[in-house]
C-alpha cells in the first residue's frame, strides 16, 4: 500500500525553469559562455546547481569557480523570483487533496533557501512532513540518494512511496530508489519520462485512486 507521496519541486510545484535558465546563463556569461536553451536543458535541468555548473564546465572546456557561481546564482534566483513566479495549474489543489490521505514530502535538487522560499510563498509548507533539498544529500538526481533519504526520514520503505517528477533524471532517481513514479509532462516529453510507472499530461489526472492503483498493478504484473 502507498503511504506517502513525494513531490519534486521545480517543474512540478513551481514553473520556474525559465528563472533557473536566466540565472545560469547570466552567471556564466563573464566566462565567455553563451548557452542556448537546448544546452541548458542537457547540462542543468533536473540536476543540482553544482552538477549543472560541472556539466557546463565540461561541455565548454572551462575552469569555472563553481562555489562562487553557486552563490551568485542563488542570489540571482531570489532576485528574479518575485516578478517571475508561477505555479502549475491544479498542483496546489492536488497537494491539499493528497495531504488528506497520504504523508507528503518534498524532494528537491534546489537549495534549502529556494525550497523554504517557494513552499512558504505558496502556503504549502505545512502540508509536507519533511522537505529535502540539495543541501541534505551528497549526491543529486539521477542518483537515488535524495529519495532514499526522504523515505528513511519518513520511516517508510521506498515501495510505500510514489514520486511525482517532471525530468528524466528525477524519474531515474525515483525508480533507482525503489519508489513508484508518476511523470508529468510539464517540462519534458513523454518519451523522456518513459521509465516512470505512469506518465500524465497534467495534474488533474492524478488522485488518490490513481496513486493506489500503481501498487496494485505492480503486484498483478
Domain identity same for 125 and 212 = yes
Contact by Cβ (8 Å): 3, 156: yes
- Which CA distances in Å does 77 have to 4, 26, 219? 30, 11, 43
Cα 24-8-35 angle, rounded to 5 deg: 20
Domain termination site, one of 61, 84, 107: 84
Has residue 221 got a pLDDT over 70? no
- Same domain flag for 77 and 136: no
Mind listing the pLDDT tens digit for each residue in 150-190?
Answer: 999 999 999 999 999 999 999 999 999 999 999 999 988 99
Model confidence over 108-126: pLDDT tens digits? 998 898 899 999 999 999 9
So what's the pLDDT on residue 47? 82
Percent over 70 (pLDDT), the chain: 98
CATH number of the domain encompassing residue 104: 3.40.50.1000
Q: Is the pLDDT of residue 46 over 90?
A: no
Cis amide leading into 142 (omega within 30): yes
Domain boundary among 36, 54, 84: 84
Quick: pLDDT tens for 1-39.
999 999 999 999 999 888 999 999 999 999 999 999 999
pLDDT at res. 78: 87
Mean pLDDT over 34-61 rounds to: 92
Same domain, 137 and 204: yes
Q: Looking at the structure, tell me whether residues 144 and 194 fall in a common domain.
A: yes
Number of domains composing the chain: 2
Q: What is the pLDDT of residue 219?
A: 60
Q: Final residue of a domain: which of 25, 55, 84? A: 84
Which structural domain range is residue 55 located in? Answer: 17-84
The confidence score (pLDDT) of residue 215 equals 80
Mean pLDDT (whole number) for 93-117: 95
Residue 91's alpha-carbon distances to 5, 56, 97, in angstroms, are 13, 31, 10
Do both 142 and 93 map to the same domain? yes
Does residue 203 share a domain with residue 126?
yes
pLDDT of residue 131 exceeding 80: yes
Amino acid at each position: 500500500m502507498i503511504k506517502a507521496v513525494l513531490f519534486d519541486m521545480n517543474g512540478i510545484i513551481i514553473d520556474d525553469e525559465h528563472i533557473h535558465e536566466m540565472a545560469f546563463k547570466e552567471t556564466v556569461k563573464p566566462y565567455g559562455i553563451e548557452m542556448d536553451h537546448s544546452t541548458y536543458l542537457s547540462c542543468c535541468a533536473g540536476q543540482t546547481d553544482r552538477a549543472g555548473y560541472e556539466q557546463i564546465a565540461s561541455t565548454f572546456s572551462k575552469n569555472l569557480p563553481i562555489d562562487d557561481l553557486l552563490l551568485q546564482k542563488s542570489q540571482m534566483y531570489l532576485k528574479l523570483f518575485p516578478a517571475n513566479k508561477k505555479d502549475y495549474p491544479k498542483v496546489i489543489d492536488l497537494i491539499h487533496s493528497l495531504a488528506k490521505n497520504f504523508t507528503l514530502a518534498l524532494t528537491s535538487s534546489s537549495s534549502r533557501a529556494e525550497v523554504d522560499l517557494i513552499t512558504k510563498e505558496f502556503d504549502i509548507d505545512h502540508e509536507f512532513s519533511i522537505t529535502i533539498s540539495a543541501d541534505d544529500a551528497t549526491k543529486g538526481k539521477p542518483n537515488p540518494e535524495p529519495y532514499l533519504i526522504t523515505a528513511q526520514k519518513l520511516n517508510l520503505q521506498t515501495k510505500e512511496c510514489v514520486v511525482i517528477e517532471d525530468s528524466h533524471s528525477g524519474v531515474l532517481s525515483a525508480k533507482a530508489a525503489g519508489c513508484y513514479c508518476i511523470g508529468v509532462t510539464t517540462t519534458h516529453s513523454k518519451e523522456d519520462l518513459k521509465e516512470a510507472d505512469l506518465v500524465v499530461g497534467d495534474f488533474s489526472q492524478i488522485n488518490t485512486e490513481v496513486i493506489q492503483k500503481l501498487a496494485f498493478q505492480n503486484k498483478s504484473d
